Structure 1
Amino acid sequence: MITTVTLNAAIDKTYWISPFHVGKTNRISKQRIEPGGKGVNSAKVLSSLGVKVTVTGFVGGTNGSELKRLLSEYPIQQRWKEVDGETRTCLNLIDESQSMETELLEKGLHINHEDWEGFKELLKTIAAKSSMVLISGSLPDGLGTGAYRELVSMIRNMGISVGVDASGSALKDCIASRPTIIKPNIHELEEYCGKPLSSQKEIIEEAINLYKRGISYVFVSMGKEGAIGISNNGIYKAHLAPIKAVNTVGCGDATFAGIALVLEKSKDIVMALKSGMAAGMANALSEGAGIVREKNYEKFFEKIAVEKIEEVSG
C-alpha cells in the first residue's frame, strides 16, 4: 500500500470562462469540482492505475466534510486528522480563447502544536502498514518549514521509503533527512539552487548535487521537454511526444504517482521515468486534476523513449 500525505488539502474548483475579462463580470460556461491537494491528486491517479492507496493529512469544517464526500467516490482509504477551521478552496480559471489558466489558492487551515503531534502519531500508525509514503504540496499555516524534515526522518527511521514533492523552504529543509525520492520541476530546482538553469547540462549538475546528498532517486520534470532521472544506475532522460493539453493542473502530481507506482516494487529508473511521464501526459488530457484514464496511460507508456546520458561519477 502507498500512503499519500496532504497537509494542505483543498476542494478544487475549475471554471471555464471564454474570454476572461479582468475587472468585469464574467459568466461561467462550464465548471468542475474535485477533491484536491497534491497528495490527493496523486492518490486519485494511483487508485485509477490499480494501486491500493490511503490518504491522510488535515481537514476541517464544512469544506473538509465535502472533500471527504467527493473523495469517497474513489477506491481510496481515508485517514484524516480532523482540526478546527475550514479546509481551503482553490480556483482554476481557464480561458480557452487565450489558452490561459489562472489559479487562485486560499491559505487554508491553521495547525497548532497539538494538531501536529496528533497527526504524527496517526501517520506512524498508517505508515507501519505502507510500503511507501508520498509527501506532497504546501504547508498549512502554523507549521514551520521543518515539518517535512520531521516526517521524512520519522518514516525513514521506520525503514519505509518516502518521496517528497515540494518546493521552496519545505524542499530545502527536508533534503538533510534524505528522502528516498524527490521530484522538483525545473522552476522548483532553480529556486532551490538560487539561479536560472539554462541548459540540460546545468540541470543535470544540480540534480547530481542533490543525489550526492544521499537521495536515492532524483527526478526533474521539465514540461514538454520531458524529465531527467538519476539513480545509482545512471543519468537518464525521458523524451515526450507532443500532445494537445486540455488541463495542466495536476500533471506534476500524476507524474509523481506514476514514478511511485514503479519504485514501490522495483528499482527500475527507466520504467519509473516512463510511468511518471505517461501518467502526467494522461492527466493533461483530462479536465480535472488527478484524473488519469488507464488506456491513455498505457498508450503513452509505450511511446515514451528513455535514453541513458551517462553514469553518475564520484
Structure 2
Amino acid sequence: MIYCTLLNPALDVIYRINEFRSGNTVTDIPSFSIPAGKGINVARVVRTLGEDVCVVGLMPEYDMKRSLEFLDQLKIKHHLFAIPGGLRINTTLIEENTNFNSHINSAGQQLPLRIQLEFNHFLEEFISAGDLWCFSGSLPRGFENDCYQKLIKSCKNKGAITLLDSRDHAFKMGVRAKPLMIKPNISELEGFFDEQIKGVHHLALKGKRLVDMGIAYVFISLGADGMIAIHENDCLLCSAPQIKTLDTVGCGDALVGGILVAQKRNFSFSEMCRMAIACGSSKALHQGPGVVSLDEVWQLMEEVTITAV
C-alpha cells in the first residue's frame, strides 16, 4: 500500500483571468475549489496510475464530510484525524495572457502540541513493513519541526519505505532520519545547504552530497526544465517534453506520485525518472492539482530526454 500524509490540508481556490492588475476589481471570472493539500494531490496521481493509496492526515471538522465524499469519489482510502475549525484557503490566480501563476496561501490555525502527539500515535497504527509512506507538505502551525523526522524513524523501525517532500526546518530535520527518497526543489536545496546554488553541475554535486549522507534517491525538481536525479553512482538530467502548459499547480506533487508508483512497481532508476517527469508534464496539461491522464503518462514517458551529468 502507498500512504500519503496530509498534515496541512487546504481548500484550493483557482481563478483564471486574462490579466491581473493590482488595485483593479475583477468580476465574473471562472473559478473552482477543491479539498487539497500535497498529500491529496499526490494520492490522486497514484490512484490514476492504478495503485491503491490511502491518505492519512488531519482534517478540520467543518470540512470533514465534504473531504471524505471527495476522496470516496476518487476511490482513495483515508484515515483522517479530526481537528477543530475549517480548512485554510490557498488561492491561485492564473493569468491567461502570460500563463503566470500567483499564489496566496493562508497559514491556517495554530494547533496545540497535544494534537501532534495524538496524531503521531494515530498514524503509527497504520505502519507495516514494505509499505510506502510519502511525507509531503508544510507542517501546521504549532507542530514541532522534527515531526517528519520522528515519523520517518517510526516507519524505518517497522520496515516501511519513506519519501520526504517538504521545506524549511521540517525538511532539514526530516533528512536527518535518512528517508529512502527526497524531492527538494532548488530553493529547498539552497535552504538546506544555506548557500546559493547555480547550474546543473552545482546542483548535481549537492545532490551527491545528500546521497553520501545516506539518502538512496535524490530527485531535484527543476520546474518546467525537469529534474536532476541521483542514485548510487548515477546522476541523470531528466528533461521534460515540450508541451503547451495549461496549469502548473501541483506538478511537483504529480512528479512525486510518479516516483512512488515506479518504486512500488520496481522500475529501473531511469524508468522511474521517466514516469516522474511524465506525470508532472501530464498534470501541466490539465486544470487542477492531482489531475493526470494515464494514457498521456505512458506516451510522455517516451518523450522524456535523459542524459548523464
TM range (shorter): over 0.9
Task: Tell me, yes or no, if the aligned pair for 1:4 and 1:134 is still in contact at 8 Å.
Answer: yes
CA distances 1:141-193 after superposition (whole Å, capped 9, x unpaired)? 11021111111111111111000001111111111100110001122212222
SS state of the match for residue 56, structure 1?
A: strand
Task: Tell me, yes or no, if the aligned pair for 1:58 and 1:83 is still in contact at 8 Å.
Answer: yes
Following superposition of structure 1 onto structure 2, how do residues 8-19 of structure 1 map, counting pairs within 5 Å? 8-19=8-19
Report the Cα offset of residue 233 of structure 1.
4.8
Cα distance in structure 2, aligned partners of 1:130 and 1:87: 32
Report the Cα offset of residue 130 of structure 1.
6.2
The answer to whether residue 270 in structure 2 is matched with residue 275 in structure 1 is no
2:223 alignment partner in structure 1: 223
SS state of the match for residue 125, structure 2?
A: helix
SS state of the match for residue 35, structure 1?
A: strand
160-169 vs 298-307, which moves further = 298-307
CA distances 1:108-164 after superposition (whole Å, capped 9, x unpaired)? 243323322221122112222761000100110110211111111111111110000
Letter in 1 for 2:78: Q
Letter in 1 for 2:228: I
Following superposition of structure 1 onto structure 2, how do residues 138-157 of structure 1 map, counting pairs within 5 Å? 138-157=138-157
> Where does structure 1 lack aligned partners over 5 or more consecutive residues?
310-314
Following superposition of structure 1 onto structure 2, how do residues 48-67 of structure 1 map, counting pairs within 5 Å? 48-67=48-67
Letter in 2 for 1:145: N
Task: Tell me, yes or no, if the aligned pair for 1:11 and 1:63 is still in contact at 8 Å.
Answer: no
Instruction: Return the TM-score normalized by structure 1.
Output: 0.94
Task: Tell me, yes or no, if the aligned pair for 1:14 and 1:91 is still in contact at 8 Å.
Answer: yes
2:188 alignment partner in structure 1: 188
SS state of the match for residue 127, structure 1?
A: coil
The answer to whether residue 303 in structure 2 is matched with residue 303 in structure 1 is yes
CA distances 1:251-270 after superposition (whole Å, capped 9, x unpaired)? 00000110111112326211
Following superposition of structure 1 onto structure 2, how do residues 127-166 of structure 1 map, counting pairs within 5 Å? 127-128=127-128, 131-166=131-166
Following superposition of structure 1 onto structure 2, how do residues 103-142 of structure 1 map, counting pairs within 5 Å? 103-128=103-128, 131-142=131-142
Query: Residues 136 and 43 of structure 1: is their aligned pair in 2 closer, same or farther, counting only changes over 3 Å?
Result: same
SS state of the match for residue 18, structure 2?
A: coil
SS state of the match for residue 72, structure 1?
A: helix
Query: Between the two proteins, what is the percent identity of the paired residues?
Result: 28
Q: CA RMSD in A?
A: 1.5
Task: Tell me, yes or no, if the aligned pair for 1:85 and 1:110 is still in contact at 8 Å.
Answer: no
Letter in 1 for 2:110: H
Instruction: Return the TM-score normalized by structure 2.
Output: 0.95
Cα distance in structure 2, aligned partners of 1:221 and 1:19: 28
Query: Residues 28 and 137 of structure 1: is their aligned pair in 2 closer, same or farther, counting only changes over 3 Å?
Result: farther
Task: Tell me, yes or no, if the aligned pair for 2:244 and 2:285 is still in contact at 8 Å.
Answer: yes
The answer to whether residue 247 in structure 2 is matched with residue 247 in structure 1 is yes
Query: Residues 181 and 232 of structure 1: is their aligned pair in 2 closer, same or farther, counting only changes over 3 Å?
Result: same
Cα distance in structure 2, aligned partners of 1:129 and 1:231: 23
Cα distance in structure 1, aligned partners of 2:232 and 2:291: 32
Query: Residues 125 and 113 of structure 1: is their aligned pair in 2 closer, same or farther, counting only changes over 3 Å?
Result: same
1:20 alignment partner in structure 2: 20
Cα distance in structure 2, aligned partners of 1:74 and 1:192: 35
Cα distance in structure 2, aligned partners of 1:125 and 1:150: 14
